[in-house]
Structure 1
Amino acid sequence: MQDDDFSLFKNETRGVKPIKHDRADTGKPKSDRAQLAKLRQNATVRSNATIIDGLSDQFVIDVGPEDQLSWARDGVQESQMRKLKLGQISFEGSLDLHGMTVEKARETLWEFLSEATRLEVRCVRVTHGKAVRLDGKRPMIKSHVNTWLRQHSQVLGFCSCQARHGGAGAVYVMLKRTMMDGRDE
């Protein structure tokens, strides 16, 4: 056996098959243009569908992780809001939005409030979390919930919960009761 470079190379490459083409295989599947077009179309349809629920993301009120939330529709009595803040109006349903995407949280919140309204529920709790983010930005779900609840026609008011019910990571939400008029006054 010779020690020159050529013979060493020949020994090391024994059994190797030459490449038949000049393109590298990256291992990635080729994009399916028809599938991409369908996904784009579905995304467009989906964004139109979110307009139907009335919950807009055009302007989101930025809130901090420890910010206390409070809002009431015009005409809601201060005494009712005071009771809500003190946790004196018992909540009959609870929703936890932890770990959801903004879009999933919107859909889930809309369905939850619709069901609570249908059942004539007076007060619910929505846990949005505080999400102290590593990038230093404000909590996404908390900020969106704060904005969406103000837009929902069945929401009379909301405020951050008592510590025992989630504190700044959750809100009590007071809802209208439409079928039994007169009970909200």
Structure 2
Amino acid sequence: MKKSPSPTVEESQLFRDAIKGTRKIKQDTIRAELRPVKQKHLLRESRETLGVDHFFSDEYQPYLDQDGPTRYVRADISPFELKKLKRGSYSPEIYLDLHGMNQQQAKLELAALLSLCRRENLHVASVMHGIGKHILKQRIPSWLAQHPHVQAFHQAPREWGGDSAILVLLDVDE
């Protein structure tokens, strides 16, 4: 990489003339930072109020086939279950609408929904993420694939949201 030559005396004088009458900007940016201990306390409180027992990692990227609609089936589950979700054979027993939420809020609500489904023995849930900027549409499948009780999920049929929703098949205690 070549160094640029230092400015000549005339160039330096031109620069000084151009900025004459200006003043130095004072750094007045305020940064509100929470201490890590307080952050952990707030996270624990929010988890307890929602009754959440599983939390999702943002770094984990499962292998999800990019061709076609969003879909996933756990290795120990029959692929026929995924086909039933695609056809609409399973109707959702509970709905979660995530429109207008940020990623952190959506993650907590999704974890709370899955916990509720386990407690109430609900097998199929519909998660409506919307279309928007595709942020939640991309994140939700990776979060769902991490959960140990999610058997499969597929983009919802048109009558339950189409491109803007996912049907989730859960295993629950019998």
TM over 0.5: yes
Residues 46 and 150 of structure 1, relative CA distance in 2, 3 Å threshold? farther
The aligned residue for residue 107 of structure 2 is 106
SS at 1:146 equivalent: helix
Query: Unaligned stretches of 5+ in structure 1?
Result: 1-27, 134-138, 181-185
Q: 1:28-39 counterparts in 2 under 5 A?
A: 36=32, 39=34
Contact 1:94 1:126 in 2 (8 A): yes
Q: Identity over the aligned pairs, expressed in percent?
A: 28
The aligned residue for residue 43 of structure 1 is 39
Residue 124 of structure 1 deviates from its aligned partner by 0.7
The aligned residue for residue 11 of structure 2 is none
Q: Which has the larger radius of gyration?
A: 1
The aligned residue for residue 77 of structure 2 is 76
Aligned residues: 139
2:112 corresponds to 1:116: no
| Letter matched to residue 163 of structure 1 | R
The aligned residue for residue 54 of structure 1 is 55
Residue 164 of structure 1 deviates from its aligned partner by 1.6
SS at 1:124 equivalent: strand
- Provide Cα deviations, 1:140-181, integer angstroms capped at 9, x if missing partner: 111110100000111000000111211111011000012x1x
| Letter matched to residue 56 of structure 2 | L
Residue of 144, 151, 156 corresponding to 1:161: 156
SS at 2:107 equivalent: helix
Which contiguous aligned blocks of 4+ residues in structure 1 show a shift greater than 4 angstroms? 44-50
Residue 60 of structure 1 deviates from its aligned partner by 4.8
Contact 2:81 2:152 in 1 (8 A): no
Residue of 148, 166, 171 corresponding to 1:171: 166
Query: Unaligned stretches of 5+ in structure 2?
Result: 1-27, 48-52
Residue 54 of structure 1 deviates from its aligned partner by 3.2
SS at 2:72 equivalent: strand
- Provide TM-score, normalisation by structure 2: 0.69
Contact 2:56 2:146 in 1 (8 A): yes
SS at 2:93 equivalent: coil
Residue of 146, 153, 158 corresponding to 1:151: 146
- Provide Cα deviations, 1:86-123, integer angstroms capped at 9, x if missing partner: 11111100001111010000011101110011111111
2:131 corresponds to 1:130: yes
Residues 60 and 100 of structure 1, relative CA distance in 2, 3 Å threshold? farther
Partners of 2:60 and 2:149 lie apart in 1 by: 20
- Provide TM-score, normalisation by structure 1: 0.65
